[in-house]
Structure 1
Amino acid sequence: MASEVVVVHANETPPDAWDAAVFLAGPLPRSADVPSWNRDAAAILGRRWAHDGRLVVFTPELREGVLSDYTGQIAWEHRQLHCADVILFWVPRNMATMPALTTNIEWGTWSDSGKVVFGAPPTAPKNEYLRHLAEAAGAPVADTLEDAVDAALAMAGAGARRTGGERSVPLLVWRTDTFQSWYAAQRRAGNRLEGARVEWTFRVGPDRAFVLYWALHVQVWIAAEDRVKANEVVISRPDTAQVALYRPGATLEDATVVLVREFRSPAATDDGFVHELPGGSGASGDPRSQAVEEVLEETGFRIGADRLSHLGARQVAATVTGHRAHLFAAPITDDELEWFRARQGTPHGVGDTERTWIELRTYRELLESDLVDWSTLGMITRALTAAR
């Protein structure tokens, strides 16, 4: 695949496929006497795009030159801003010739999106707050147009080929394992992504670069029904590993299950806590290793990986989120049950971000109360019935 750069001007139709897309955002000349930085930026991008594949550069400038009527292209700009992998803001503000008042609003809309670069000449006035927001969001900041272009290309990397409706999923989300897992399931079913819009991302880590959660408003063509459904949002996070530790009883209902109690803001229980199996997600990539780590972190109990039976993986709430829970189970001894019982008043977890407490409940108690949610009850039921 050859290297190619395509510049798409305002109101023009973009190509049907690309590997990376950069939107040029910032003040536009309102007079032919004012130099156009968009043309310079597009030229630099064209020279420095070094990867095989197609780079699309969206410029809100008309191909024929100076913009005279902005209102006719607002919808076009909004579509491409959402599709773009990187939004390169260059703000050479001049209060007389390019005051950049619209740019202030646009920057405020996208500054925390995780896909912006902010650049401005040090001499340009009234950019201090914009620069502050960029630094607070972990966005690259540049003092020259060349450096801003380099930062945008570094963010895009080699890109990834997307066609049709796939183009509406920016690299920020496209590159996540969780999106690829969800999308692979849709394609296996014969479905097709007609379009999408990122509603939000929740990013963590250095420079907030790791996308932990994302939400996409999607339009999917359903092969089995030959129709498009366009009124749903898909939410996802990394898959989890959940562990059912239990002591068998005389009957199924008499089995004792090890739970953890933790304050979680979405909880709608009487005490404001969630009551669930030890579990969570992490960077290991191996569900079994993650299961061992979560049990240790949330209960203090060290269990060997070889004791855990893997009972499969399923979605937790299929109408809302695309992530899956890997379920592991292991019986414990009477001595181990007493070990847990003795530590029910001892907090575990990771500092103030996670504080967990051990709880012991019989299966009968869980069936007869609303202590645990339906997904947790289902996992416990699967573990106990599999053991019998």
Structure 2
Amino acid sequence: MASEVVVVHANETPPESWDASVFLAGPLPRAAAVPSWNPDAIALLRERWRGDGRLVVFTPEPRGGLEADYIGQIEWEHRGLHQADVILFWVPREPNTMPAYTTNIEWGTWYDSGKVVFGAPPSAPRNEYLRYLAAKEHAPVADELGDAVDAALGLIGSGSRRGGGERAVPLLVWRTESFQNWHAAQREAGNTLEDARLEWTFRVGPDKSTVVYWAAHVTVRVAAEDRLKSNEVVISRPDTAHVALYVPGPSPEQTTVVLVREFRSPASTPDGYVHELPGGSGNGRGLVTQAAEEVREETGFAIGAERLRPLGSRQVAGTVSAHRAHLFAAEITEAELEVLRELSAESHGVGGGEVTWIEITTYGEILANPLADWATVGMIAQALA
């Protein structure tokens, strides 16, 4: 695919597909004698874009200097800011000719989005707070326009082709496995993503570059019903792997099951803890390896991955989150159960933020005590079936 740069001016309709998009945000001159920085940024992007595809550059300057419809331009800018993979802020603030009042509002809206670059000449006044927020959120900061352009292209990388409603999903979410899994399931069902608005992301890591949770307000064409559905938000996270360790009893209700207890902020149980099977999300590990490792981390008990019986995957709560739970089970011996009883005297977990406690109970007690959530009850039922 040939490399190209398409510039979309204020109130213009963007192309139907692209591989990457940049929105130029920052003050525009209030007098004709003051030069705009947008043409220089566009020239640098044309020169330095190396992706094998289409880069779309949104500039809020009307084409040919024509006066744009004010309200229409506001809506156009909001749409472009949401669609853009990267928002390149360049703030050569000058109190009389480019005060950047609107820029301050836009920066305050987007500084923690994970898709911004902040740049400004060191001589530009009143940018200290903006620079502070950029550093706080690990956003790239540049003193030269060329460096800001390079930082924006660095966030984009090679891009990824998207068309139609897919264009509204910025790369930081588009590249996640959780989004691709959800999107693939919708396509397999014959449905089409017509539009989207990324509401928020929860990012982690030293530079906050890893998206763990995301939420998007989507519009989907439901093929089986020939209608648009646009009143829901998709929330997702990486898939999880869980293990049901059990010692068979005379009946399912008398079967001994190993749970872990952990404080989780969303818990609404009487004790404030979740009571669930050992499990969690991985970091590029295979599912069965991930499952065995979660058991070791959360209980201190080592079990070979070869002993884990795969039982498939399902969504945990289909009206809340798009992620899936992958279930494994393993029958353990009475001797191994005694080891777990000894391990229950101390806490387990990794990373400081995770503190887990072993609970040894029966399936009947789990059913009688409403501490375990329905997803946990269902997974145990599947394992014992």
TM-score, reference length from structure 1: 0.97
User: How far 1:235 moved relative to its partner?
Assistant: 0.6
CA contact (8 A) 1:91 1:120 kept: yes
1:249 aligns with 2:266: no
Q: How does 1:73-112 map onto structure 2 within 5 Å?
A: 73-112=73-112
What secondary structure is seen at the aligned counterpart in 2 of 1:354? coil
What secondary structure is seen at the aligned counterpart in 1 of 2:317? coil
Distance 2:91 2:76 in 1: 21
Cα deviation per residue 1:327-362 (whole Å; 9 max; x = unaligned)?
Answer: 010011111111112222310012430000000110
User: Which residue of structure 1 lines up, in the alignment, with residue 4 of structure 2?
Assistant: 4
User: Which residue of structure 1 lines up, in the alignment, with residue 377 of structure 2?
Assistant: 377
Distance 2:65 2:40 in 1: 14
Q: Write the letter of the residue equivalent to 1:224.
A: A
User: Which residue of structure 1 lines up, in the alignment, with residue 340 of structure 2?
Assistant: 340
Q: Write the letter of the residue equivalent to 2:26.
A: G
User: How far 1:367 moved relative to its partner?
Assistant: 1.3
Distance 1:89 1:284 in 2: 34
User: Which residue of structure 2 lines up, in the alignment, with residue 14 of structure 1?
Assistant: 14
Cα deviation per residue 1:106-157 (whole Å; 9 max; x = unaligned)?
Answer: 0010000000000000100010110110011011000000000011011111
CA contact (8 A) 2:245 2:332 kept: yes
Distance 2:319 2:69 in 1: 44
Q: Write the letter of the residue equivalent to 2:364.
A: R
Q: 1:268 to 1:110 in 2, by over 3 A?
A: same
Q: Write the letter of the residue equivalent to 2:123.
A: T
User: How far 1:69 moved relative to its partner?
Assistant: 6.4
User: Which residue of structure 1 lines up, in the alignment, with residue 32 of structure 2?
Assistant: 32
1:268 aligns with 2:238: no
User: Which residue of structure 1 lines up, in the alignment, with residue 201 of structure 2?
Assistant: 201
1:293 aligns with 2:277: no
Distance 2:330 2:137 in 1: 43
User: How far 1:67 moved relative to its partner?
Assistant: 5.7
User: How far 1:284 moved relative to its partner?
Assistant: 2.9
User: Which residue of structure 2 lines up, in the alignment, with residue 65 of structure 1?
Assistant: 65
Instruction: Provide the aligned length of Structure 1 versus Structure 2.
Output: 385
Distance 1:170 1:34 in 2: 33
User: Which residue of structure 1 lines up, in the alignment, with residue 324 of structure 2?
Assistant: 324
Distance 1:202 1:307 in 2: 35
Distance 2:135 2:371 in 1: 43
Q: Write the letter of the residue equivalent to 1:107.
A: W
Distance 2:147 2:197 in 1: 29
Q: Write the letter of the residue equivalent to 1:221.
A: R
User: Which residue of structure 2 lines up, in the alignment, with residue 192 of structure 1?
Assistant: 192
* Unaligned residue ranges in structure 1 (runs of 5+): none
Distance 1:360 1:192 in 2: 46
* Unaligned residue ranges in structure 2 (runs of 5+): none
1:48 aligns with 2:48: yes
User: How far 1:96 moved relative to its partner?
Assistant: 1.4
CA contact (8 A) 2:11 2:68 kept: no
Distance 1:90 1:232 in 2: 35
User: Which residue of structure 1 lines up, in the alignment, with residue 217 of structure 2?
Assistant: 217
CA-based RMSD of the aligned residues comes to 1.1
1:365 aligns with 2:352: no
What secondary structure is seen at the aligned counterpart in 2 of 1:33? coil
Distance 2:360 2:95 in 1: 67
Distance 1:290 1:251 in 2: 30
User: How far 1:226 moved relative to its partner?
Assistant: 0.4
Distance 2:136 2:177 in 1: 26
CA contact (8 A) 1:118 1:139 kept: yes
User: How far 1:71 moved relative to its partner?
Assistant: 3.7
TM-score, reference length from structure 2: 0.98
CA contact (8 A) 1:31 1:66 kept: no
User: Which residue of structure 2 lines up, in the alignment, with residue 128 of structure 1?
Assistant: 128
Distance 1:169 1:202 in 2: 15
Distance 1:11 1:30 in 2: 19
Distance 1:78 1:351 in 2: 39
Distance 2:331 2:297 in 1: 19
Cα deviation per residue 1:68-87 (whole Å; 9 max; x = unaligned)?
Answer: 76444111100010000000
Distance 1:116 1:155 in 2: 9
User: How far 1:65 moved relative to its partner?
Assistant: 2.0
User: How far 1:369 moved relative to its partner?
Assistant: 1.9
